[in-house]
Structure formats: C-alpha cells, structure tokens
Amino acid sequence: MFDFPGFFGSANAKLKREHHYRVFRELRREPGRFPQVQWRAADGAWRDATVWCSNDYLGMSQHPIVLEAAHDALARYGAGAGGTRNISGTTDLLVALERELADWHAKDAALLFSSGYVANDTTLATLARALPGVIVFSDAANHSSMIQGIRASRQRCVVFRHNDPAHLDALLAAHDSSTPKLVVFESLYSMDGDIAPLAALLAVAKRHGALTFVDETHAVGVHGPRGSGLLEAHGLLDAVDIVQGGLGKGVGVVGGFITGDAAVIDFVRSHAPGFIFTTALPPHVAAAALASVRHLKESGAERAALRRRVASTRTALAAARIPIASTPSQILPLIIGDAGECRALADRLLERHGIYLQAIVHPTVPRDAARLRITPGPLHTDADEARLVAALVEARAACASAVAAGSGSATVPGSATAHAA
C-alpha cells in the first residue's frame, strides 16, 4: 500500500532543508496598540514586538469608527450570515456595501466575495470559461489567485512581459481581431512594490478590443483622492472594465470584491461557484468594511500620514545604507536572496530586537529572491522607526558575520509566483 504519511513527511522535510517551510509566529493584537503586539517565544512567554510587515496599510482595523460599526452590528445581527446569500438571504449591510464599492470605483455594480483570492480566482475562471474561444493575456508577475483562475478556465493563456505594453501590443496583434481577448494585470505588485503603466496597458487593450480586468488589492484605500486606488489616482476608472479589490488590506477588515458594468457583475453573480456556494460575509464584517470605505472616501488624513511615514522610513533606511529596493509605493522590499539567510535575519530581528518582519520565500517570490517586505504605516512612530533601523543594522551585520564564519545561513527550517503551467 502507498505510504501516505511517509510521502507527506518527506515532502515537508525537503521544504525544511531548503528553508521554504513556513513558520507561523503566534501573535496577539490588541485594539488601540497596533503596530505593537505580543508574540509567543519558544519558552512559551509572551514578549513585546512591533509589526513592520502588515498589509493593514492605513491601520483601519484599529480605527474607532470601524470598531464601533462592528460592535453595533454584532449586537444587532449576531455573529454569522447563516449561509450563502441565495439560500439564507442577503443582509441589508451587504447590499449597502456593494453599492458603496460600486460608487467608489465609478461603476454600475459590485459583488462581494469571501476574500480577494476568491474574487480573482472565481471571477477569472467564470468569465474566461464562458467567453467562446477567449484568449487571456496575463502579466508575468500576476498573483497566484489570478493564475489559478485562468488555469481553472482551461482557456488559452498568453503571458506578456511584466509591465510591458509593447509586448502586450505585439501579442494582441498576432491574433484575429474577432477573437475575444481578456487582458489581466495588477495596478500595484505587492512583493516588489512596483506600479503598472496603467494608461499604456489599458490603451493597448482598448485598441485591440479586449476586456480588461485590473487587480487593485494593494492600492485600494491607499491611493487616489477618494482612496479607491491607482486607477482613480490616474483618472482611468472609466478606461477599465472590471476592477477587483480587497477589504483586508487598506480597508482593514476581510473580503474581496469586483466592480464593473451591471451586466458583467450580474453574470458573475449567477455563474461563479466561488460566490454561489460560499457563506456570505458576516454582518459585523460587512458593517466594519462599510464604515471603513465611507470614512476613506471622505478622509485623506490616513493616506497623508502613510505617505509621510513611508518617506521618513525610506530616508532613514537609506541613511543607514540598508539597500531597500527603490519603489513608488508603500512597500519597501529588502531583497536578501538566500531563503536560509533571510529566515535567520527575520529570527534575529524578532528574538533580539522585538521587530516582526516575516521572511518572504518561495513560492511567494522566486527561489533566489527571498526578502523582508517592510510596510511602514501611519501608526508607526519616530521611535518605532529608529528602533527598526538600528535593529536592521545590527542583525544584518551579525548574520553576515555568521555566514562568513561558515556557521550556516539559517537557524530554523522554513516569493513573484511562477506563471508557467
């Protein structure tokens, strides 16, 4: 008989040898204290730490307006949605949130999902599967959720070079004009922090009559006059057909969504398994997201504070000669390369300095591109920043000395995702 335990055990052991095994740190987040948290050390004790790698870019998970809305909805509606929206009914909060999201992105309609991953996966699979003979043109650095959705459709996928409008143009031109085409890319790439040439890519797609799908997950809340994302910031909301976004990052809660033409959204609502057969977002989550979106549409204070902290942190890191990649966004990658060395650095930062920066390794980034992904936020203080810089200087020097001495590159066993099939 097949040795199932042996198979999985060997696979896990291989991940550990390669330092790609994922180690989760146990944290306690307390309202009003973030980015200060507690983490459980190896001896079981809880110790203080400062988080520098959160996707809660604006700290909205801690905002009093958001917390109050969640508390009120929990008391009024209870804890759960009771099932799918079709079977158990749609709460008025979900309807209100979808209307708010549609308005935020200047679209006819919106549709909520349990996560941004599901929004990408199930929407792309549904659309591509339905369009007869469609060819999907996908950026080489697109997120795993987009790649999986395209694969699930079983339709042809053509990959264009990352952020390369000329390559996309050539690939689109090589196919018959009557063939349905779907162009898929992100506005802000979360691992490198780079921003797509939105106007150029959308112009190319329009010239070839392609349907466009843009993932704004890491830009929602953070960019644009009303915070809806980079498309708004560049005045391009009217130029894109479908905008995808997440509620777990800039909005500070959980969930995902798409916005677009009413007919397209209605089609996805009626055909997407990831929507139809999934329990709806709980009422208190919908209420919290609704309060957050409404606040961010009116307030630029959080975005302004984020920009100031990102600029300050980038300057401080540069002054200390810490080689942060040059990015135009709120994401500051420190590329280490070797996964073992990256994990050793992350461990030392947490255990010696109380700085929580998770090592990002394959398959989230390529095997030779392990990194620490620094995301300054408006709730970080000058003192937090000074401690971060000092800790990085000490830890990098200590880890470099250990590697030079031949003592090994990592203390514990354990990523853009490859687009190849």
Check if the beta carbon of residue 216 is closer than 8 Å to that of residue 91: no
Cα torsion through 66, 72, 77, 81, rounded to 10: 20
Separation of alpha carbons 355 and 390, rounded Å:
10
- Give me the catalytic one of 14, 107, 206, 249: 249
Residue 297 among the catalytic residues: no
Check if the beta carbon of residue 250 is closer than 8 Å to that of residue 222: yes
Q: Which residues of 407-420 are buried (b: 16+ CB within 10 A; e: fewer)?
A: eebbbebbbbbebe
Check if the beta carbon of residue 21 is closer than 8 Å to that of residue 9: no
Q: Which residues of 59-80 are buried (b: 16+ CB within 10 A; e: fewer)?
A: bbbbbeebbebbeebbeebeee
Give me the helix-helix angle, 262-271 and 116-130, nearest 10°: 100
Q: 256 φ, ψ to 5°?
A: -145, 170
**Distant-in-sequence, close-in-space partners of 42: CB < 8 Å, separation ≥ 6:** none
**Catalytic residue annotation:** 249
